[in-house]
Structure 1
């Protein structure tokens, strides 16, 4: 039974290769490979991101749900990622900030996904405690 559960959980892992904004902007048809499938990225989103932060950001932006967080809490990691999401949500972040983690909640998540539907990706983590 434990082997079956382990195998099931192992196969659920997220599998995607991240690319930088600059790499995606150079492509005629920007895309990422997510779980072995081609995932198209809207150029309009890439242009929006380019206008708001540096080209060093790696996409997709990971929206992490973890069973150890409070219900509806989403974690975003990365300096550029935090700057971009904060800007979308109207949250103040110092331009000199080295903050690399931001927690948002369901209403904010809807706003982020509305603005960046193809450049964000959900990641679910489940603890077995």
Structure 2
């Protein structure tokens, strides 16, 4: 099944008999490109579906739908539908989603702060290991 046709997973956390106790699947979800971008955008405030779609370059309607459904299911995002014509839907972070978004923003800040040093380290490595 292709990435764009992935269903919402019925089980986020595996049985605790597993070595990783289901954490790997959750970390995969959190580390997913679209999840991070949706969480960062929602950290700025409540957004309607089309606002999210416009704010996240390259995301398809299908991937945004799947991503928001998964985030709602995981308890990170709350979806509110209003009985209007046409129906109006907006998304906001839950308390748990806000705490995760703060962590992601901290990681992004760290990345920006160390971008130059990482680039220099990569250049040194590449110079010393041309076979890679």
TM-score (norm 2): 0.26
Compute the TM-score of the two structures, normalised by the length of structure 1.
Answer: 0.27
Q: Which has the bigger relative contact order, CA under 8 A and spacing at least 6?
A: 1
Select the structure that is richer in helix.
2
Higher strand share: 1
